[in-house]
Copies of this chain bind each other. A is one copy, B any other.
Amino acid sequence: MKAKVFVSLKPDVLDPQGKVVMQTLNNLGYNSVRQVRVSKMIEIELDTADREAARVELERAADKVLANPNTETFRIELED
């Protein structure tokens, strides 16, 4: 089974990488760009066909390993 875990900074947390990308785009003439936030998309292949088990394992992995609970949030998408 394939899944995606999206790990994003919480809205109140500054994103210096996003700021640099935005300024670079503006400097290069992409003037309609107003805000940029950079997140991670982690694509995972799991050796199970049990969707419920996969979701439980991914929730734990995201909470304990993939995301920093102090500054980040995560969202899990299981593929069909």
Binding site for B on A (CB under 8 A): 6, 8, 18, 21, 24-25, 28, 30-48, 53-54, 57, 60-61, 64-66
User: Which of B18, B34, B40, B61 contacts A30 (CB under 8 A)?
Assistant: B61
CA distance A70 to B66 in the complex (A): 27
- When distances are taken between beta carbons in the complex, the residues of chain B under 8 Å from A28 are 64-65
Number of this chain's copies in the complex: 2
Sampled A-B contacts (14; CB under 8 Å) = A8-B41, A21-B65, A28-B65, A30-B61, A32-B47, A33-B45, A33-B61, A34-B45, A34-B47, A36-B42, A37-B42, A38-B43, A39-B40, A40-B41
- When distances are taken between beta carbons in the complex, the residues of chain B under 8 Å from A47 are 31-34
